[in-house]
Amino acid sequence: MSFWKDTTYRSEETEIMDDLEMGGPLVISALDHLAAINKWLGGNQVTINGIKKLLKKYPKTDEITILDLGCGNGDMLRQVADFGRKSGYNFKLIGIDANPVTVAYAKSLSGDYPEISYDQQDVFSEEFKEVRYEIALCTLFLHHFKDDFILKFVDALTRNATIGVVINDLHRHPMAYMLFRLLSIFIKNEIVKADGLTSILRAFKRDDLEKYAQNVSYKSSITWCWAFRFQWIIDKKIKQ
């Protein structure tokens, strides 16, 4: 088992959970494991911090629709809801996922959050192109796709937002790969072990994100965060 990997180029290997027909206890377990890892490593806070930056000086009296793409078990949206309640915001939160099992499970965990709803949608669909919102969130979402799709998708996602977009994704780095190899010793779910490593190899270097940002007409802010994350904020209030 090698602990070092060349991360010069993005991998095109698919992840096990990219199979939208997957279901059952193993998938539910994988969703819970991923949520726990993100919380433990502070990954979700990268997204919350991005929302705070976009909403700085934004009136709290207005309803703010926030879309979460690839919502998983809804853990990210529940944390956003908690932040909104604590800070006095009027949030309308919508989780989007293409897997019906994932959507059903997220709904079952969010009964105490009336401000959250979930919708089974494919981001490639014509229906999704018509969705409008104030803020779109992509937390560990973009790395599932190839460069040509990302270039078009981020631009379209930004055009349909009124405030901006928060992207929180992995840094493709040999050290990140090595650390997850070590962490996976303690992970029992085989899907999470395999997909975690694939995710890192499909993730981004700063140059990748800067290339994508050149295709967007609004100001971008790209920040490195622990643990091996990039926070990319697109603010529609500021033109490039």
Domain at 16-239: CATH architecture:
3-Layer(aba) Sandwich (3.40)
pLDDT at 200: 96
- Separation between Cα atoms, residue 132 and residue 123, nearest integer Å: 13
Q: What confidence tens digit (pLDDT) does each residue in 185-229 have? A: 888 888 999 999 999 999 999 999 999 999 999 999 999 999 899
pLDDT of residue 2 exceeding 70, the answer is no
Strand blocks (E) in 147-215: 161-170
Q: Where are the domains of the chain?
A: 16-239
With residue 97 as reference, give the H or E element that holds it.
strand 90-97
Which tens digits make up the pLDDT trace of 14-73? 998 888 777 778 889 989 988 888 887 888 999 999 999 999 989 998 999 999 999 999
* pLDDT attached to residue 98: 93
Per-residue pLDDT of 144-190, as tens digits, reads 999 999 999 999 999 999 999 999 999 999 999 999 999 888 888 88
Alpha carbon separation from 218 to 158, 163, 221, 238, 239 (Å, rounded): 8, 11, 10, 6, 4
